[in-house]
Amino acid sequence: MFDAQGGACAACASPLKLQGGSKIETAQLDHDHETGKVRAFLCLNCNMMIGYAKDSPEALRAAAEYLERFEVSR
């Protein structure tokens, strides 16, 4: 699965390491919290973001719309 993802986070495409990296760049195995089914490898930030959103695409879309409304720059 890691190789199939090209060694990158499935959500943001940042490079990941299976071991030997910092906590942020170490691959996190994401799963559905209701079924336990494995989805993909994510970086720590994306894994936490999805977890805090309680696996809700609607919550994540609303947050993105909020950021766009206030023109937050990176």
Where residue 51 sits, what CATH number does that domain have?
3.40.1800.10
Q: Closest Cα to residue 31, out of 22, 42, 20? A: 42
For the chain, the domain total comes to 1
Task: Dump pLDDT digits (tens) for 22-71.
Answer: 888 899 999 998 899 999 999 999 999 999 999 999 999 999 999 999 98
Confidence band, pLDDT 50/70/90 cuts, at residue 21: confident
Under 8 Å CB-to-CB from 46, ≥6 apart: which residues?
Answer: 9, 10, 11, 12, 28, 30
Integer Cα distance of 55 and 49 in angstroms: 9
How many residues would you count in the chain?
74
Whether the predicted pLDDT of 74 surpasses 70: no
Structural domain span for residue 54: 1-74
Rg of the chain on CA atoms, in Å: 13
